[in-house]
Structure 1
Amino acid sequence: MTIGIAAHGPNAGLAVFRALAAVEAVGRGAIGGFVSLAALTADGSVARATAQRGGIAALWANGEAAIPAAIASATTAGLMSSGPDRPEPLSQFTPAEAGVGLVTGHRMPNTIGVNGVNLNDEVLALMRTGMAPAEAVEQVVRANPDVDAGIIALAADGRIHAANTALVEKRGDTGRALIDARESGAVVAVLHNAIHPHRPLASLAAEVAMDVMQPDDRPDGWITLHEGVRLAAGAVNAVEIDADGAVEAIVVADARFLSGCWSLGIGYETGVIRRAEQIAVMLYEPYMVVNDGVLRTIDGQTEFRIPVRSS
């Protein structure tokens, strides 16, 4: 009956916002009610946003455009969400501390455990002593096997861990995802239950968050295709550019495309060549129409800019 999402990386606050928005857009069940969001901001404070009803859209009246910059750009952020009208304060579902990290989860991670402390608060307290998120979560989960809770712990430095108690592991409607790309600057974890379809939703939320923090198509530059560029035969598909980034020739491995009229795609991450050296790959594959070895249109246009990533 809840979902927890935590992320660390560039614009992690925006990442968890979009991740929950994606789940609400395609899922059904225990969503669209309360949201408790916490972010560790650049000025060393904890920023919060909460709503009891309406889900992610209720946090700010104008939606994503109204997210405070400090939250959107925070590199450590997490949220918990479910149906409406949870006990106040909603911050009890997402304890956080600047310089330490934050804790979220699903089910009832704010339940008092065997040590007389809410499980999520206990995990954060262990992290405050220097314990790693994985060790803190596993210690608390093992000590409370019959508590109805799943916990995600995220340290301010990006270390992350997620686990369910033994009781929650018996359920048949849970979802879990963890993407740990800390070496390249981003991590995300998701736990949920009672939201359907339950199998793909955790992966969807995690991938949406990663797409905000580390989009696969973030360009390092641009090249320009234009009508009239000639095709040339070569060993592999590629585009040859001049010093200004304009495409001078489209190299194709299949010589059939040099005569007649064809619709043409030149492949995934096709190489960009300058002075006989590959300097980049294309991040977008346009739909091209060629006639007798000459480019006529690119996605229906006569000129088109394409994002590229340096090799």
Structure 2
Amino acid sequence: MHDAVLGAELLGRGAIGGFAVMAVLDATGALQYRVTQRGGVCALEMPASWQSARVAAIISSGPDRPEPLTQFLAGAGGVGLVTGHRLPNTQGEDGTALNRAALDRLAEGQAPQQAVDAVLQAHAEWDAGLVAIDAQGRLGMANSARARRRDDLGEFRRATAGASLGLLHNSIYARGDLAAQLGELAWSRLRGLAPRSCFLVLVDAVPLVSASRDCVHVDAQGTIVALETANPRLAGLDRVSTAVYLGADVRRDGVLVGAAATELYVRIRAGAACPVALPAQNRLLARMNDVEA
């Protein structure tokens, strides 16, 4: 899910790149949180052990939301997690937040879809969508009747015997079906599949070399090691600008492996592209060809 949110920050515009809350049930079933008010998902300092967590959830939108940020993502050790979009923390008729009410139903033994449906059907005109996952990995998700009337919604859901993934979004605008793009990206990570998209990152300053065609050269880890540009003005700039243009070739060891699906907007100085302070801004998403990525 981390990569899906990062993908939204790079591919889209709108309610992204601000606050983020991520939660996992760790190997012992205990609940753990990481939160940030600004900077989006890249500002979350996640332990390496979270990479193997069986149950995880995230919520992110614009910056500076009411504290505590954990109110936006309800969780309980050994029970599950309930995230969502719009205002999943809004109090219901009985004063209990909608996401917490769904979590309480999970604790009582209800299946996630049953819990989500019960809460949202009882609060049809509340502005919320919920995604619930229990400690066994079962998934449930839905929007309230009010939220379903929006024309800016995205949804992705996939489940197999061994894995489940759910995604809801609104107020994020991008080319194409954003939910499908993000869902496929997250699913490939979850299942260990050969990715059709991958993140490339600018770690150190690299020279901008004049060439007849734009190209990003990367190593096996996806680190940018060289940049070629057909823009004759780019290397002479001294400001933040687009160092990698949309559609630029991506090559590894000289072999064409894909194309840039987003742009790299970083500091240009002394003929080189230099990383900037915001971590997400040093990354771009590339569409990979039918080769090992």
> Which interval holds the TM-score relative to the shorter structure?
0.5 to 0.7
What CA deviation, in whole Å up to 9, does each residue of 1:82-125 have, x standing for no partner? 00000111111111112111000000010011222100000000
Q: Give the 3 Å change call, closer, same or farther, for CA 216–59 of structure 1 in structure 2.
A: closer
CA contact (8 A) 1:186 1:210 kept: no
TM-score, normalised with respect to structure 1: 0.61
Higher relative contact order (CA 8 A, sep 6+): 1
Local SS of the residue matching 1:136: helix
Give the 5 Å matches for 1:99-248: 99-181=78-160, 183=161, 185-197=162-174, 200-217=177-194
Equivalent residue, structure 1, for 2:24 = 39
Unpaired segments of 5 or more residues in structure 2? 196-254, 257-290
Q: Which residue does the alignment assign to 2:4?
A: 19
2:48 is matched with which residue? 69
3-state secondary structure, aligned to 2:177: helix
Residue identity matched to 1:217: A
- SS at 1:211's partner residue? helix
> Sequence identity of aligned pairs in percent?
42
The one-letter code sitting in structure 2 at the alignment partner of 1:41 is D
The higher radius of gyration belongs to: 1
In 1, Cα distance between the equivalents of 2:117 and 2:111?
A: 10
RMSD of the alignment, in Å? 2.0
How far has the Cα of 1:199 moved from its partner? 5.9
Gaps of 5+ in 1: 1-15, 61-66, 219-298, 301-305
Distance (whole Å) between structure 2 residues aligned to residue 208 and residue 118 of structure 1: 31
Instruction: Give me the whole-angstrom Cα distance separating, in 1, the residues matched to 2:176 and 2:145.
Output: 19
Name the CA distance, whole Å, in 1 between partners of 2:64 and 2:194. 39
Tell me how far 1:44 sits from its aligned partner. Answer: 2.4
- Equivalent-residue separation in structure 2 for 1:186 and 1:117 (angstroms): 30
Please state how far the C-alpha of 1:18 moved relative to its aligned partner. 1.1
Q: CA deviation at 1:166?
A: 0.5
1:58 aligns with 2:43: yes
Contact kept? 1:46, 1:96, Cα under 8 Å: yes
Moved over 6 A (4+): none
Deviation of the 1:47 alpha carbon: 1.3
Tell me the equivalent position of 2:286. Answer: none
Displacement, 1:198?
Answer: 7.9
TM-score (norm 2): 0.65
Contact 1:119/1:140 (8 A) holds in 2: yes
1:82 to 37, 51, 61: 61
Counterpart of 2:113, as a letter, is: A
